[in-house]
Amino acid sequence: MAPAYKLTYFDFTALGEPIRFLLSYGGIEFEDNRIQRANWPALKPSTPFGQVPILEYNGKLAYQSIAICRYLAKQVKLVGKDDWEDLEIDATVDTITDLRLKFAQYIFERDEQAKKEKEKSLFNETFPFYLGKLDAQAKKNNGYLVGCRLTWVDLVFTAILDFFNFMIKKDIITNFPNLQKVKENVEKIPNIKAWLEKRPKNVSH
């Protein structure tokens, strides 16, 4: 029988990977439907807002990667212990999104001069500012981002980190030991380890 969940995304990590991490963490079988760029124009109009990832389940369709992650976190019990902790998790996930969007502005900048300027501010200001604060948060929480224990924001952070590092061919957390600890804590989970070994290689962007 086909798995109940079907994730449709491009053949790279980015916004699909936190969803793949959460499904894998929970031992939930899923169809990892990776579409090729050439097939995207034909598929786009059939998606709710012309974008992926989308997740199908029992004839229903979900979109927006963070909303999907939040739903899966409930399914696999990786949410906060109370509403306040959920708020802290959501705020941290949103902060990671803020950083990702600033990063994307640099990555997708086509003008050479503007790109140089964006690179300077990304490496001298944006990364130190965001990663420094997130590292302090991970220090306070003993190698996790919220609540001193594993929650879905740790999976989101670790999964999206691949996209950052692949795109700039550098490890952006080299100088942030507590964020390294977050990544280690996630990657040592047996189901995540198994996913990392099993997932398609050479498509990390």
Q: Which alpha helices (DSSP H) does 108-151 contain, by range?
A: 112-121, 127-140
Element housing 47 (H / E): none
Among 5, 18, 19, 53, binds ligand GSH (CB under 6 A): 53
DSSP structure class, residue 199: S
**Rounded least distance, CB 40 to ligand GSH, Å:** 7
**Rounded least distance, CB 136 to ligand GSH, Å:** 26
Q: Give how many residues touch ligand GSH by CB under 6 A.
A: 10
Taking residues 28 to 47 in sequence order and writing x for each that binds ligand GSH by CB under 6 A, - otherwise, the string is ----------------x---
Instruction: Kindly indicate which of the ranges 24-32, 48-56, 147-155, 159-167 contains the residues binding ligand GSH, using the contact rule CB under 6 A.
Output: 48-56
DSSP structure class, residue 108: T
Among 64, 165, 180, 191, binds ligand GSH (CB under 6 A): 64
204 contact partners, CB below 8 Å, separation of at least 6: 12, 13, 162, 163, 165, 166
Bridge partners of residue 6, in order along the sequence: 31, 56
Q: Summarize as ranges the residues that interact with ligand GSH (CB under 6 A).
A: 14-15, 44, 50-53, 64-66
